[in-house]
Amino acid sequence: MAKFVTIGYGDQDGYNRTAAAVRDGAHAHDVRLRAAGADMGIAGAPVQVRNHDDAGTTVQSGPFMSSALPVAGFAIIEAATLEEAIQLVSKTPCAVARGVVEVWPLQESP
């Protein structure tokens, strides 16, 4: 099985505008993903770490990438194909509650 990093973007307003039954179904789907071995979490405040040319580490608060929606959470999931990974995340809270989920194939580093 291949591993995929998923990043969910969404905000409270979009979540609140989604029908409670749809949200409940999405949360139940997350429970099933966790039971199947997905490592999931809610995003905290990010920091940027740099150590250019190994000349000293600097840390700056905030994300590097910008989006109209804040990062809401992440997961590392296993799926046989990218298509299966897409299907798995299509039922998660960020996907159904007016957000978006990015799916990144994790590749072995050389």
Q: Which DSSP helix (H) or strand (E) runs through 88? A: helix 82-89
pTM of the model: 0.82
Residue in 58, 67, 56, 75 with CA at minimum distance from that of residue 14: 67
Residue 26 has pLDDT above 80, yes or no: yes
Q: Residue 86 has which token pair?
A: 């897409």
Contact 9, 93 (CB under 8 A): no
Integer CA distances (angstroms), 99 to 23, 63, 83, in order:
12, 18, 19
Coil/strand/helix, residue 102: strand
Question: What are 41-85's pLDDT values in tens digits?
Answer: 888 878 888 899 999 998 888 777 778 889 999 999 999 999 999
